[in-house]
A and B are shown apart, each in its own frame.
Chain A
Amino acid sequence: KAGVTQTPRYLIKTRGQQVTLSCSPISGHRSVSWYQQTPGQGLQFLFEYFSETQRNKGNFPGRFSGRQFSNSRSEMNVSTLELGDSALYLCASSLLGLAGVEQFFGPGTRLTVL
């Protein structure tokens, strides 16, 4: 069974640009969550999608947005990039997106903002 895939794995952008990251969940999983991982803040929840609907959102500015498609694939977008957006962005997929149901993380996309 293929795991969660994220593309691209590495990305370098400059301030002010925008970026789109992609996540393909495990086949059959309907829930996708996104997390930002930085050395200073650790793992922070960005948002969660279930059956194409945003079900939960973390405390991030509106520059961070996401969506989920009918095949459960998800994208997140960051507009007007800032230096502080440099981080590892992780996607997690789950069958139902409920606590107690295992979430499987992808390897992440390493975003560097110059």
Chain B
Amino acid sequence: QQQVKQSPQSLIVQKGGIPIINCAYENTAFDYFPWYQQFPGKGPALLIAIRPDVSEKKEGRFTISFNKSAKQFSLHIMDSQPGDSATYFCAASYESGNTGKLIFGQGTTLQVKP
């Protein structure tokens, strides 16, 4: 129940393509869903986050789609660039709880070819 399942494990797209990364969760108590981006040799950095009362959120070229009934959410990267090549992690947490603990998906390694 604490798991967040992420797919695919790896993804290769051409520049300008729209990679989509999917995540699914079981625990309906989760109420905060961030996405993190990690470059080699660096720690993860917050990219964008969503709460379950919103079905979609956009920030620049990054969009999260959220389906509360299916307990799934996904990250779309519009007009992807080689600089977007990184590992992406979805995560879940309890905004209503007294904790910042994050439960992460397994990660997706994205390669954007020029």
Contact = CB atoms under 8 A, between A and B. Distances in A.
Contacts of B102: 33, 35, 43, 45, 99, 103
Given A43-B89, A43-B104, A98 B99 contact: yes
Interface of A: 4, 31, 33, 35, 42-45, 48, 55-56, 58, 90, 92, 94, 96-108
A97 B100 contact: yes
Given A90-B43, A106-B43, A42 B105 contact: yes
Contacts of B54: none
> Of residues B44, B98, B100, which shows the largest number of chain A Cβ atoms within 10 Å of its Cβ?
B100
A55 B43 contact: no
A56 B99 contact: yes
Contacts of A4: 43
Given A99-B31, A100-B32, A107 B101 contact: no
A105 B44 contact: yes
A79 B31 CA distance: 35
Nearest to B106: A42
Given A33-B100, A42-B89, A43-B104, A99 B94 contact: yes
Interface in B10-32: 31-32
B80 interface: no
A96 B93 CA distance: 14
B46 A98 contact: no
Q: What is the interface residue range for chain B against chain A?
A: 20 to 34
A33 B46 contact: no
A90 B45 CA distance: 12
Contacts of B79: none
A11 to B, nearest CB: 16
B31 to A, nearest CB: 7
A99 B107 contact: no
Contacts of B31: 99
A46 B99 CA distance: 13
Nearest to B94: A99
| Closest 9 pairs (CB-CB, A-B) | A105-B43, A99-B93, A43-B104, A99-B95, A99-B32, A97-B100, A100-B95, A42-B106, A56-B99
Contacts of B44: 43, 90, 105
